[in-house]
Amino acid sequence: MKRFEGKVALVTGAASGIGKAAAVRLAEEGATVFGVDVNAGAGVDLTCDISDEQQVADAVAAVIAKHDRLDVLANVAGVLRADHTHELKLADWDRIIRINLTGTFLVCRAAIPHLLKTRGNIVNTSSTAALGSHPWMAAYAASKGGILSMTRVIAVEYAKQGLRANCVCPGGISTPLHGQFRLPKGGDPELLRGAMPPVPYVGPEHAASVIAFLASDDARYINGTEVRADGGALS
């Protein structure tokens, strides 16, 4: 499939995991990909902390300066940590909300004027944590729920101008972020049962393929919604 020939895609979180896999998938399908990440690495055209307003503005300006257009924004960058809610430090709450939710907003805000010119679209990365069965993730789940709500707002607000916005909600994808998850001290693993898929975990290409679908014309009548890629965990 070559669904993105002639199209330019900006992918955040492109150094690792789902973002890296999404960049690879979009490029395989013909897109010119501009990858950004707070960490440098293969597939990263520019380092950018998405929680920094100026760095985000500079990154979007760099895409336009280099490629003169933007058709797809895949917001994948994000961070996770787990704490008992009554022990969650305000600094950790603020950091997670700032990167996951505010960062996603900042990139959307900077990209929308360019996406309107191409009748392009946005795929934001939420999580099954936004939908249920995730203890110890008050900040993370709130950030991902905020992404869902914000995405619906964008979808309605710009639909008549031809811009679409959707979310992928991954769960249980084997990536460095997933591997770094630790139960908080004394956390009962039974409480996580509802978040576990009835099948083995899969690699990030299984979330990347959903991002590519939502970003493609195959999904042109899909707007303001989310697709779970969780192996049936929340079913």
Q: With CB under 6 A as the contact rule, which of the stretches 72-80, 106-114, 152-160, 186-194 interacts with ligand NAD? A: 72-80
115 binding ligand NAD? (CB under 6 A) = no
Position 127 contacts ligand NAD (CB under 6 A): yes
User: Of 24, 50, 115, 167, which lies in the binding site for ligand NAD, with binding defined by CB under 6 A?
Assistant: 50
C-alpha angle 82-166-148 in degrees, rounded to nearest 5: 40
- Which residues sit opposite 123 in a β-bridge? 74, 166
Report, in Å, the least distance between residue 137 CB and ligand NAD: 10
Is residue 13 near ligand NAD by the rule CB under 6 A? yes
For ligand NAD, which is the closer residue by CB, 27 or 221? 27
Q: Is 43 in the site for ligand NAD (CB under 6 A)?
A: no
Cβ distance 28 to 5 under 8 Å?
A: no
Compute the least distance from the CB of residue 13 to ligand NAD, in Å.
3
Nearest in space to 21 (alpha carbons), one of 212, 225, 194:
212
Distant-in-sequence contacts of 64-67, Cβ < 8 A, 24+ apart: 64/114, 66/34, 67/8, 67/32, 67/34
- Applying the rule CB under 6 A, the residues between 165 and 224 that interact with ligand NAD are 170-173, 175-178, 204
In the complex with ligand NAD, which residue's Cβ is closer, 61 or 159?
61
Q: Judging by beta carbons within 10 Å of its beta carbon (0-12, 13-18, 19+), is residue 40 exposed, middle or buried?
A: exposed
Report how far Cα 213 is from the mean position of its chain's Cα atoms: 14
Count of chain residues binding ligand NAD (CB under 6 A): 32
Residue closer to ligand NAD, measured from CB, 222 or 234:
234
What values do phi and psi take at 122, rounded to 5?
A: -120, 135
Can you spell out the DSSP letters for 100-121? IIIHHHHHHHHHHHHHHHHT-E
Q: Which residues are catalytic?
A: 140
Q: Rule CB under 6 A: which residues touch ligand NAD?
A: 12-13, 15-19, 37-39, 48-51, 76-80, 99, 103, 125, 127, 170-173, 175-178, 204
